Chain A
Amino acid sequence: MDLEHIDNMHFDVLKEIGNIGAGNATTALSQLINSKVDMKVPVVDLLEFRDLPDTVGGAETIVVGILLTLDGDIDGMMMFMLDEESAHHLVDMIVGKKTDGSNEFTEMDLSALNEIGNIIAGAYLSSLSALTNMRISASVPYMSIDMAGAILSVPAIEFGKIGDKALLIQSQFCEDDDEVNGYFILIPTLDSYGKIMSSLGL
């Protein structure tokens, strides 16, 4: 298995995985905030490291990154990213307070964000697990609020161990009034990527 030589059929399968996983996660989110959430068509991309931060608006964009490490039949990482404004909006909806325009996250905000990450990443992973009939266990969520480049360096380094490009299965979602923008990024290890394919008969 070589990441540099993925054909269109494999791309389509990965897109479908992203679609199903994010679809489930979006439903979970929608229930959580009791509001309609739409999902965009997922993008599967093989990217040069230097282009990676541009997928979320540039290296210096401030984002909330929630990362879970995966093991079991599939190893790798799952990352859920929200831009800062979206994170505030989401938290305010859940905690039920009026947006005060402040840039600071309170302790309570942070723990709500962590829980949001946990719930929707869990929904994403459980559909992936059902689809491939593989056991996937996820770690507790780890959160960081910082520049996108710095946060993405963590999955990029994992990819760097096996090649010069990163495989992103990226699904973007938005709430009714476009105030919430988020990304799911699934980062299987090379071995796991092969396992996913063969579990689907490819």
Chain B
Amino acid sequence: MGEMIKIGMADLNACKYPGALTTLGLGSCVGIALYDPSTKVGGMAHIMLPDSTKIRKNENHAKFADTGIDELIKQMISLGANKHNLVAKIAGGAQMFAFTSNNDMLRIGDRNVEATKAKLSSLGIRVIGEDTGLNYGRTIEFYTETGDLLIKSVGKPIKTI
């Protein structure tokens, strides 16, 4: 296995085989792993919000599902990926607190997941694996060798999608 690149909150990065990518402690944010199996180029984004057009301060592309995915694809293409080969695996979008009040915060995890899927589908990228929603945090690791996405949660067995 090659180097493991760490992705922070509102951050993204891409790498080639044998590199790997990880993001720690995903909560309501969504981790998006894109992969081109033919060139073994992988990319990961840790997005916080669904839609850059709803927010005035939107310079950081990695913060949003829409602009984050565009930016990630751009970086992957520059590493030799073919856009038409890309497939996606996504994780996160949990609701960490059981809010009962009628508040915007309530469904942010779900909205992040919905926006991510809508953006991917508009680009013709298939979601081939998903572990989203519910009420717990996730650490994810993505391996360019196999395209496997490992998901670790507190008190749960490791899951591979």
Residue of A nearest to B48 (CB): A160
Digit string of A129-161 for contact with B (CB within 8 Å is 1, else 0)?
000000000011011111111111110111011
Interface centre among B135, B138, B154 (most CB of A within 10 A): B154
Asked whether B48 lies within 8 Å of A49 as measured between CB atoms, the reply is yes
Asked whether A49 lies within 8 Å of B137 as measured between CB atoms, the reply is no
B9 is contacted by which of A49, A69, A139 (Cβ under 8 Å)?
A49
Within 8 A of B (CB), among A38-70: 48-53, 58-60, 62, 65, 67, 69
Asked whether B97 lies within 8 Å of A140 as measured between CB atoms, the reply is no
* Interface membership of B24, Cβ < 8 A: yes
CA–CA, A99 to B12, complex, Å?
A: 43
B97 is contacted by which of A59, A142, A147, A161 (Cβ under 8 Å)?
A142
Asked whether B137 lies within 8 Å of A160 as measured between CB atoms, the reply is no
Asked whether A153 lies within 8 Å of B26 as measured between CB atoms, the reply is yes
* Interface membership of A164, Cβ < 8 A: yes
Instruction: Show the binding face of B for A, using Cβ within 8 Å.
Output: 8-11, 24-29, 48-49, 55, 57, 59-60, 63, 94, 96-101, 103, 105, 108, 135-139, 154
Offer 26 A-B interface pairs, CB within 8 angstroms, sorted by A: A49-B48, A49-B63, A50-B8, A50-B9, A51-B8, A53-B25, A58-B24, A65-B96, A140-B100, A142-B99, A146-B96, A146-B137, A147-B25, A147-B154, A149-B27, A150-B26, A150-B27, A151-B27, A151-B137, A153-B9, A154-B105, A156-B9, A158-B105, A160-B48, A163-B57, A164-B60
